[in-house]
A and B are shown apart, each in its own frame.
Chain A
Amino acid sequence: MALRTEELILNVGPQHPSTHGVLRLEVELEGELVVKVKPHIGYLHRCFEKHAEAMTYPQVIPYTDRMDYLASMYNNFGYVIAVEKLMGIEVPERVEYIRVIMGELQRIASHMVALGTYGLDLGAFTPFLYLFRDREKILTMFEMTCGARLLYNYMWVGGLSHDLHPDFVRLAREFIQYFRPNIVELNNLLTYNKIFIERTAHIGILPADTAINYGITGPMLRASGVNWDLRKNDTYSIYNRFDFDIPVGQGHMGTVGDCWDRYYVRVLEMEQSMRILEQALDQLPEGDINSALPKRIKPPVGTVYQRVENPKGELGYFIISDGSLNPFRVKVRGPSFVNLSVINELSRGHLIADLIAILGSIDIVLGEIDR
């Protein structure tokens, strides 16, 4: 006679170190195998979109900082170019370059946290410390420029809050020189580590068509083998001036679109960001950063949907203007929000320990999911 078994419901979170914030996963288990994952979100909900309706356009910018707090520069970036598109503002060359420089530094910093904490989730403590040490250098550069280390309010509609510090260009060049060898070190420590590969290869495979249907974007989509990057495919700002490659997942260690691919695409993207940085620093023109700042920010009646390639994927701002000083509606399409929705599909049939590896590879920030 067969033993009668029952499914077990296990709550991972809301307070759990591997959930990267306050997220509850209701996991249905059969023995150690995951049958179903039901994410429950909203623990950090601050109703950003309601706030935005009561604020003037520039007052919304600090709120955007607080969504994806690991990529605040890029949140600013998306919002300001959306409003600029609505108002038809052309910003000076120097501003465009500084925005790209800040954006790419932010991408490296965000990927450092993603990779570091991913190692931490899987039991590798050292790479986390190394990466946070290096991230500190980027945060110092940001702090020199605008006085804040995490939440910057740096990009304004039509300009920037501060010009670059006189030492900035030198420090950025030094950082690139310093960080390139460290990627090799990271690869030796973690990427090609036997234990790490065993934990991540062939785990949580996301096929390309599923990814597109779920609206997955960013490194996660590219890891599934889709050559898609908004900086190239739907270019904005001045990204079409730079020469860089789009790394895609190739299944070096396992299958295309597994956890290892998602991890490795981010490693490769850091190198590509540094290539963009080098070119932008070389071409950086002189000029006044605030010459295009509008006296009054009052866009005409209309709607705009502007999307940018945030470190985590497609960050879209949908703004409806009714011609007043406050936006009528701001809707944010956060990459983490959409990317998390595929977790049930990814983890079905895997072990519960692999669920942690899968969640880490998505690279979520709950501040943006819950907004």
Chain B
Amino acid sequence: MKKAEEIFELIKSGFPGVTVELSADMPTEPIISVDPLKVHEICKFLRDNEDCKFDSLMNLSGVDDANGEKIKEEDDSEIIKGGTLSVYYHLHSMSLNHKITLRASAPRENPEVESVDNVWKAADWHEREAYDMCGIKFLNHYDLRRILMPYDWEDGSYPLRKDYKNPEFYNGMKVPY
């Protein structure tokens, strides 16, 4: 059983030159921030390393951090420019019984994160959901389609973005709310 700090040190020594950060000031969980374009390598390392053995992905969530510049529109709605979208990975090792949370933040204008679905198959649907809801693009995902929303939902319209606007019409039908 290893602490988040020890795992952080392992990642840091395993990947020199890659930005990794540990934020342990959160009240409940320490989080390790990693480069979104190195996630696949790091996750593979975490799964296969003898001291880590993270064999299961508990959860993967896409989050709109809403930390960009907020611009008021004419109709009083807000759009967000800049800032990041994040993916949180909750990993767990069944054999060593320790947990870790990873975060990969990608710029809002071009949110590209490497897919980990060939490290843990569990990531497949979770990544599709994060794409569907937050519009995060997972590079090298074999089948990145919408999962919960209809397949013909408007392109570029992602419900869990903080500046999402309900469409007025869907397939010619009025959308009341």
Contacts and interface: CB of A to CB of B under 8 A. Distances in A.
Interface stretch (B38-46, B107-115, B120-128): B120-128
Interface in A303-344: 303-305, 307, 314, 316, 318, 320, 329, 331, 333, 337-338, 341-342
B12 interface: no
A212 interface: yes
B32 interface: no
Contact of A307 (B57, B58, B125): B58
A93 to B, nearest CB: 23
B106 interface: no
**Most B-side CB within 10 Å, residue of A42, A342, A371:** A42
B58 A314 contact: yes
Given A212-B56, A303-B26, A316-B59, A341 B31 contact: no
Interface stretch (A44-52, A62-70, A179-187): A44-52
A215 interface: yes
A318 B90 contact: yes
Interface in B31-76: 31, 55-59, 61, 63-64
A40 B101 CA distance: 30
A223 to B, nearest CB: 16
Interface string B134-177: 00000000000011111000000001100010000000000000
A341 B125 contact: yes
Contacts of A88: 27
B55 A86 contact: no
Contacts of B88: 303, 318, 331
B63 A333 contact: no
A370 interface: yes
Contact of A318 (B56, B59, B148, B150): B59
Interface residues of A, number: 38
A304 B28 contact: yes
Contacts of A214: 120-122
Contacts of B120: 213-215
A302 B61 contact: no
A199 interface: no
A210 B59 CA distance: 17
A173 interface: no
A195 to B, nearest CB: 34
Interface string A218-260: 0000000010100001100000000000000000000000000
A9 B150 CA distance: 20
B147 A41 contact: yes
Contacts of A85: 28
Contacts of A234: 97
Given A50-B160, A314-B58, A341-B124, A320 B63 contact: yes
Interface of B: 26-29, 31, 55-59, 61, 63-64, 88, 90, 94, 97, 101, 120-122, 124-126, 133, 146-150, 159-160, 164
Interface of A: 41-42, 45, 47, 49-50, 85-86, 88, 210, 212-215, 226, 228, 233-234, 300-305, 307, 314, 316, 318, 320, 329, 331, 333, 337-338, 341-342, 370-371
Given A213-B121, A303-B26, 5 more contacts: A215-B120, A304-B29, A316-B90, A333-B58, A333-B126
19 contacts: A41-B148, A42-B149, A45-B149, A50-B160, A210-B121, A212-B56, A213-B120, A214-B120, A215-B57, A215-B58, A215-B122, A228-B94, A302-B29, A305-B59, A316-B90, A318-B88, A331-B63, A331-B88, A342-B121
